Structure 1
């Protein structure tokens, strides 16, 4: 579905020097897979996702989706951001229908589709509200509905639950699992949470500290559907073992890149 080969990206740092964010990243994402990506802060996770979305250029390598090279944003991909990125002056209905309007879909059709998705994410009755009248969790539901409205093949999610409280995060995780189980999109999901990566993913991609590379890909042998009883899943020995293993790997990465203490 998604093939990434030899991807490299370098930024210019504040001091004017080159900062290598990604170095020779090779990754395959399977069709209808829920792939989670985990790694130390600053390892290039978001850079990788933005490159797949076609939102930023890169310096070397290739990204191919269904045989077509990525040259920029496309109708086959939608992205959900951590900071919601909603239009503050627009209603919930207009925010969800925004992508459809940009693609020339008629008003009646786009509003029908938007209302359907608003109901799916549990916001029926809030169609005329504006983002400032909603909680953070409700705003992110709007963001997810907006991303799904254009019927993408690939859903790219950049720490979408990172800005909400823990209780809301758990509810959104369960809702996302239910949506994925119904629609089976190809999802690439960036997170800092080991628990979230294991709960949601078919595989967890573990990235190394900067410059980001694929350190390991960990399969998640937990049965689906998972939305029926998340609590039981999280108490299972496999879940506990995998999250503990990921934490050990991440801790080792932090230790490897910690500056050595000066000798006394």
Structure 2
């Protein structure tokens, strides 16, 4: 579904020098897979996701989605950001329907589709509210509904629950799993939480410290549909502990090399 080959990306740093964000990244994501991505801060996780979304150009390498090379944003991919990125002046209904409007979908059809998704994410009755009137968790539900409205084949999620409290985060995780079980989109999900990565993912990609590379891919052989009870299982604890050990080792290696 997603093929990434030899991907490298650098930026101009604040001092005017080049900062290598990604170096020679190779990665395959299967159709309908839920892939989670972990790594030290600043390792290029968001840059990788934005490159797949077509939001940033790359220095070398290529990204192919369903046989088509990525050259920019496309209707087959939708992105959910940590900071919600909602239109502050627009209602919930108009925010969810925004991408459909850009694609020329008629008003009646886009509102019908938006209302159905608003109900799916548990916000029926809030259609006329604006983002400032919503909690953080509710705003993120709007962001997820907006991404789903354009019916993408790939959903790209950049720490989407990082700005909400722990209780809301757990509820959103369960909601996302339910939506994914129903839609079976291909999902690439960035997180800083080992527990979240294991709870959600079919596999966990571990990225090294900058310049970001794929250090390891860890399978998560836990049955689906996922339930909170698996957090008490030995296998869940084993995978989570392994990920923490690997991340701690990478941090210490990076610090020693500086």
TM-score by length of 1: 0.97
CA-based RMSD of the aligned residues comes to 0.9
1:164-175 to structure 2, matched below 5 A, reads 164-175=164-175
Hey, what's the Cα distance between the residues in 2 that align with 1:66 and 1:50?
17
Match for residue 162 of structure 2?
A: 162
After TM superposition, give the deviation of residue 63 of structure 1 in Å: 0.2
In the other structure, the counterpart of 2:29 is 29
Unaligned runs of 5+ in 1: none
Deviations 1:127-155 (A, max 9, x none): 00000000000000000000000000000
Matching of residues 76-87 of structure 1 within 5 Å: 76-87=76-87
Matched residue, 2:74: 74
2:52 is matched with which residue? 52
Shift of 1:260: 7.3
Deviation digits for residues 178-214 of structure 1, max 9, x if unmatched? Answer: 0000000000000000000000000000000000000
Instruction: For residue 244 of structure 2, give the secondary structure of its aligned residue in structure 1.
Output: helix
Deviations 1:230-260 (A, max 9, x none): 1x11000000000000000000011001157
Match for residue 107 of structure 1?
107
The corresponding residue for 2:136 is: 136
Q: Which runs of no fewer than 5 residues in structure 2 stay unpaired? A: none
Residue of structure 2 in register with 1:241 after alignment:
238
Q: 1:180–1:260: structure 2 CA closer, same or farther, 3 Å change rule?
A: closer
1:37 Cα offset (Å)? 0.4
Distance in structure 1 (CA, Å) of the matches to 2:257 and 2:49: 32
Separation in 2, partners of 1:256, 1:202: 27
What are the equivalent positions in structure 2 for 1:203-222 lying under 5 Å apart? 203-222=203-222
Using the alignment, how far apart are the partners of 1:247 and 1:93 within structure 2? 41
Provide the residue aligned with 1:253 in structure 2.
250
Structure-1 residue corresponding to 2:179: 179
* Residue aligned with 1:142, SS: helix
With the length of structure 2 as denominator, give the TM-score of the two structures: 0.99
Determine the C-alpha separation between the residues in 2 that align with 1:11 and 1:85: 23
Aligned residues: 258
Would the alpha carbon gap of residues 15 and 119 (structure 1) be closer, same or farther in structure 2, given more than 3 Å must change?
same
Displacement of 1:100 after TM fit? 0.3
The ranges of structure 1 where at least 4 consecutive aligned residues each deviate by more than 6 angstroms after the TM superposition are: none
Counterpart CA distance in 2 for 1:159 and 1:189 is 7
Q: Over residues 16-46 of structure 1, what are the superposed CA-to-partner deviations in whole Å (9 max), with x where a residue is unaligned?
A: 1111000000000000000000000000000
